[in-house]
């Protein structure tokens, strides 16, 4: 009996000591460990769509439509209504870009008679002027500003002659045109006219300067 009492007494003392030590230990506190991320850090971690596509440092153009780079002359190009109605917009733009031209401004619009008359004002009074205005007015067209080395002359070479039947094989007009009256495309024919025509269709803040990843493979040096 005394042995049993002693045994239980020892167990009681042991449990008291253990429980006392546990009670004296610090209980770990669970806290919110979420880090605070600043706006600046967030911006550093963001990769924009333009950067993913190799287009960086896009800025609005200066007042002058012509770039200061010798590799970046600018020209105005209009894809006429027949390009839209024949579903050739994508094909034509694809060939323009494959050549190496950079599109720095583009819009799809329905041109008014006033816009067309102003654009072709140098042809006013000629026998074909009224017909030209009539078949282009109130029709969907694409206006673009292209940039590239000798862009004015090089695009006109890609475009082809006024009469598609006389255009060199491989030019846009030779590929897709059959008549002078439906020759698909207009392009500036001089630096002076390019400057005038660009600002007729685009405001300065619609023209952009940017770098493409492919440019170093279009031009050497």
Check which CATH number belongs to the domain holding 155 and give it.
3.30.70.141
Q: Which residues of 19-31 are buried (b: 16+ CB within 10 A; e: fewer)?
A: eeeeeeeeeeeee
Q: Is 216 annotated as a binding residue?
A: no
Q: Kindly tell me the sign of the dihedral angle through the C-alpha atoms of 99, 101, 107, 113.
A: negative
- State yes or no: 183 annotated in a binding site: yes
Residue 155 lies in a domain: yes
Q: What is the dihedral of CA 183, 186, 189, 192, to 10 degrees?
A: 160
Residue 217 counted as an annotated binding residue: no
Q: Is residue 23 part of a domain?
A: no
Specify the pTM.
0.70
For the cut 50, the answer to whether the pLDDT of residue 56 exceeds it is no
* Residue 203, domain member (yes or no): yes
Query: 186 an active-site residue?
Result: yes
Please check whether residue 122 lies inside any domain of the structure.
yes
Question: According to the annotation, is 80 in a ligand binding site?
Answer: yes
Catalytic choice (85, 119, 123, 186): 186
- 184 domain-assigned: yes
How many domains is the chain partitioned into structurally?
Answer: 1
Helix (H, G, I), strand (E, B) or coil at 203: coil
pLDDT-derived band at 23 (thresholds 50, 70, 90) equals very low
Determine, yes or no, domain membership for 106.
yes
Whose CA is closest to 162, among 170, 152, 174, 144?
174
Q: Is the pLDDT higher at 33 or at 209?
A: 209
Q: Which two tokens stand for residue 206?
A: 């619609």
Q: Confidence class of residue 67 from pLDDT cuts 50, 70 and 90?
A: low
């Amino acid at each position: 009996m005394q042995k049993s009492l002693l045994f239980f007494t020892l167990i009681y003392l042991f449990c008291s000591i253990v429980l006392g030590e546990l009670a004296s230990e610090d209980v770990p506190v669970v806290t919110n460990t979420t880090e605070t991320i600043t706006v600046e850090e967030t911006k550093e971690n963001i990769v924009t769509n333009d950067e993913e596509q190799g287009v960086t440092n896009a800025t609005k153009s200066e007042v002058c439509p012509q770039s200061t780079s010798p590799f970046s002359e600018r020209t105005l190009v209009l894809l006429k209504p027949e390009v839209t109605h024949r579903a050739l917009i994508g094909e034509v733009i694809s060939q323009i870009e494959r050549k190496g031209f950079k599109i720095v401004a583009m819009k799809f619009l329905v041109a008014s008679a006033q816009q067309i008359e102003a654009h072709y004002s140098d042809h006013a009074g000629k026998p074909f002027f009224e017909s030209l205005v009539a078949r282009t007015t109130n029709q969907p067209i694409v206006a673009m500003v292209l940039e590239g080395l000798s862009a004015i002359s090089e695009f006109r070479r890609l475009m082809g002659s006024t009469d598609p039947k006389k255009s060199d094989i491989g030019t846009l007009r030779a590929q897709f045109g059959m008549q002078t009256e439906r020759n698909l495309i207009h392009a500036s024919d001089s630096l002076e006219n390019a400057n005038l025509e660009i600002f007729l269709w685009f405001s300065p803040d619609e023209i952009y300067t940017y770098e493409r990843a492919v440019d170093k493979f279009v031009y050497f040096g």
